[in-house]
Amino acid sequence: MILIIAEKAIAGRRIASLLADSAIKEHRSHNAPFFEFTKNGKEHIVVPLRGHIFNVDFPKNFAPWIGTDLKKLVNARIEYIEVEKGIIALLKEFASKAEMVVMATDSDREGESIALEALECLKEKNKSLEVKRANFSAITKEDIERAFSRLGALDLNFADSANARREIDLVWGAVLTRFLSLVSGRLGKQFLSAGRVQSPTLALIVDREKEIIAFKAKPYWEIQAEFKKEKKFTAIHKLGRIWEKEKALKIMEKKDSHGIVAKVKKQEKEIQKPLPFNTTEFLRAAAGIGFSVGRAMSIAENLYQRGIISYPRTDNTVYPASLDFKKILNSLLTVGKFFNDVKKILSQKKIIPSRGKKATKDHPPIHPVSVPKEELSTEQWRIYELVCRRFFATLSEPAIVESMSVEILMNGEPFIARGQRFIKKGWKEFYPYLKSVEVVLPELSEGDRVKLLRLELLEKETKPPARYSQGSLIKLMEKNNLGTKSTRHETIQKLYSRRYISGRKAITPNRIAFAVIDSLEKYDGIIIKPKMTAELEREMDLIAAGKKKKPEVVNDSRKMLTKAIAVLMEKKDKIGSALREALRQDNQFFSCTRKECDGLLVMRRSSFSKKRFLGCSNYPECTVTYPLPQNGSVKRTDKECPYCGKPMIRVSGRRYSFEMCIDPNCKSKDKWKKKNNKKE
């Protein structure tokens, strides 16, 4: 019997169905599924895991947060503890019956680590078991059969690299989280988390918010003219931003009834097509159409496991020479929505894909590999369509635009009108997510007289830097080598779940995020500096390359943390005081709604039900209270309810966000209840 190990049930079922000579049989044992089939007369069993079947943790004597010496925790032994006991029992049951095991987990570092866990369980019962590795980037019949005809060996260096990350992140996360939670008094479910990647990422968000807060707007003026020659068009004074109002007013005094075209410049240029999707660019694009990066990755993984797209965790931006573009395109002709687009691409004289700078040997860029055999949900279809349309764009032709710049003189003052029109849409026809606006100017020649319809002096001011979106933050994390393509979205989701940040389109840190980062920065900057994390990332890459050993890298990280925690412990009282004050302010919402009371409405929790509510800080003298939703983060707003005038709050969860009046008796109640499930 040949035993096959898959990473998830959906992937295991599909691998079995693609390899089987006839129908597969699905069974359960030890409350875990497995699939049975025959191929070439040989019995095969596929056992799917649920990702990692072991967790990394400390020995039980380090479990209590209070009373544990953090310096000892830094160097505590790390244990691999069974979490999927049913699957582990099933593996051991089949171990003695198998003559060979084929590891068919995801072909990356994490997949190699997961495969190694399964192998260690199997070896307990069958030390002589032959072990092979199937590497593939898509779960299609062709890819799976090719992988199983070219079986290789497990890459233990890859597994060690992934396990080093797990151990390092456990130690850093546990020590820093316990330190912050203990000194702030924030224990239980409301603990303050920190981590090797999480804290530098949060620091980037906080630093950007500080830039926004410190920004001082500077006024400036623009002069805009509307001219007409056959059709209306707009021109801006050549100076653009004018910093002195008096200068702008003097220009306005030169207003005339017409202008004279002084220069006309036309230029054709190519807009190069986008590069193939790697993980970072895919997540940025998905965030741009309204997905959280975590949700986008979850859907992409599901589509991969169903054999519809290629593996979604890759750094590669160069398609392999072996990829059969025409075969994939021809299969997509059967998707009605894509039919015309695919026909146009296939009609090109040559299909020459765009190429990025990074070509890796593990997985190709993300691309469609087959047509869905069953109906996709709305969200799944949107991600699938995004991947397909990016694929089309990379195989199509460049777009060609004609840009036009016209200088118009009015009493000697120059105004510039700019236009742009597409001569050839090229890839833009297939990829609608990057907007390009056409501005078509009338036909103008030097010496033409154009009528002035309107001249306006526009008062404006400089804008602060924009807050990060999830897409731009993912890109910044990649630039600073924070985390990996496989973990960055998880880090961002963790910051949301710990309520350090809110806002999907524009990420905003809350007060406790400021306090945590300010404390770590003031007393030990290394923890929040990308340089330290990037250095450890490079060390883990060296493990994967076989140039360093796991114990050495893990011990190096412990030494870094030992120095950092020693500094923090010396200043624990000051750090604790700053964190407690930030927590107190973060819980303050509004002035009490009772007119004769000078108290503040703050978030509290019932001592009996533990439910949160707003209560007056002057209790028991003032007993004003308002219930709060028990799920999601709650933030104050500057708005008043249009029905009763009481304050409004914003409630945000993973996939929803809405505003509501704090008064449950307000007649707006039914309106905001309906918004409860509305996605932002």
CATH classification of the domain holding 248? 2.70.20.10
Q: Which of 137, 154, 171 is the endpoint of a domain?
A: 154
Within this chain, do residues 306 and 343 fall inside the same structural domain, yes or no? yes
Establish if 649 belongs to a structural domain.
yes
Establish if 287 belongs to a structural domain.
yes
Domain that holds residue 639: 589-677
> Per residue in 184-206, pLDDT tens?
888 877 788 999 999 999 999 99
Q: Which of 363, 395, 427 is the endpoint of a domain?
A: 395
Within this chain, do residues 312 and 200 fall inside the same structural domain, yes or no? no
Within this chain, do residues 540 and 502 fall inside the same structural domain, yes or no? yes
Distance CA 507, CA 499 (A): 11
The tokens for 58 are: 């400390």
**Residues ≥6 apart with Cβ < 8 Å to 150:** none
Residue 390 burial class via C-beta count within 10 angstroms: exposed 0-12, middle 13-18, buried 19 and up: buried
> Per residue in 470-496, pLDDT tens?
999 999 999 999 988 889 999 999 998
Q: pTM score, two decimals?
A: 0.84
Within this chain, do residues 194 and 236 fall inside the same structural domain, yes or no? no
Within this chain, do residues 565 and 485 fall inside the same structural domain, yes or no? yes
Within this chain, do residues 530 and 611 fall inside the same structural domain, yes or no? no
Within this chain, do residues 414 and 559 fall inside the same structural domain, yes or no? no
Task: Give me the pLDDT at residue 504, please.
Answer: 76
CATH classification of the domain holding 121? 3.40.50.140
Establish if 60 belongs to a structural domain.
no
> Per residue in 549-591, pLDDT tens?
999 999 999 999 999 899 889 888 988 888 888 777 766 778 8
Whether 120 has a pLDDT exceeding 60, the answer reads: yes
Within this chain, do residues 13 and 115 fall inside the same structural domain, yes or no? yes
Whether 304 has a pLDDT exceeding 90, the answer reads: yes
- As a whole number, mean pLDDT of residues 643-663 equals 81
* Model confidence band, residue 664 (pLDDT cutoffs 50, 70, 90): confident
Task: Give me the pLDDT at residue 317, please.
Answer: 93
Output the CA–CA distances (angstroms, integers) from residue 303 to 143, 214, 368, 379, in the order listed.
Answer: 15, 44, 9, 11
Whether 1 has a pLDDT exceeding 80, the answer reads: yes
Task: Give me the pLDDT at residue 577, please.
Answer: 87
Q: Which of 395, 414, 434 is the endpoint of a domain?
A: 395
Between 120 and 358, the more confident residue is 120
Task: Give me the pLDDT at residue 670, please.
Answer: 55
- Rounded to the nearest 10°, the torsion over CA 500, 501, 502, 508 is 140
Which of 249-258, 329-338, 428-437, 657-666 bottoms out in mean pLDDT, i.e. has the lowest?
Answer: 657-666
> Per residue in 32-87, pLDDT tens?
999 999 998 899 999 999 999 999 999 999 999 998 999 999 999 999 999 999 99
Within this chain, do residues 26 and 148 fall inside the same structural domain, yes or no? yes
Within this chain, do residues 108 and 43 fall inside the same structural domain, yes or no? yes
* Model confidence band, residue 617 (pLDDT cutoffs 50, 70, 90): confident
CATH classification of the domain holding 173? 1.10.460.10
Task: Give me the pLDDT at residue 671, please.
Answer: 53
Contact 117, 103 (CB under 8 A): no
| High-pLDDT (> 90) share of the chain, % | 69
Report the domain count for the chain.
5
Within this chain, do residues 258 and 356 fall inside the same structural domain, yes or no? no
Establish if 66 belongs to a structural domain.
no
Task: Give me the pLDDT at residue 678, please.
Answer: 44
User: Which segments of 52-197 does DSSP mark as H helices, in order?
Assistant: 70-74, 85-95, 109-125, 141-149, 156-184
Neighbours of 206 (CB within 10 A): 22
Distance CA 311, CA 324 (A): 16
Whether 675 has a pLDDT exceeding 70, the answer reads: no
* Model confidence band, residue 657 (pLDDT cutoffs 50, 70, 90): confident
Which of the residues are catalytic?
Answer: 311
Within this chain, do residues 21 and 134 fall inside the same structural domain, yes or no? yes
**Residues ≥6 apart with Cβ < 8 Å to 11:** 48, 104, 139, 305
- As a whole number, mean pLDDT of residues 306-334 equals 93
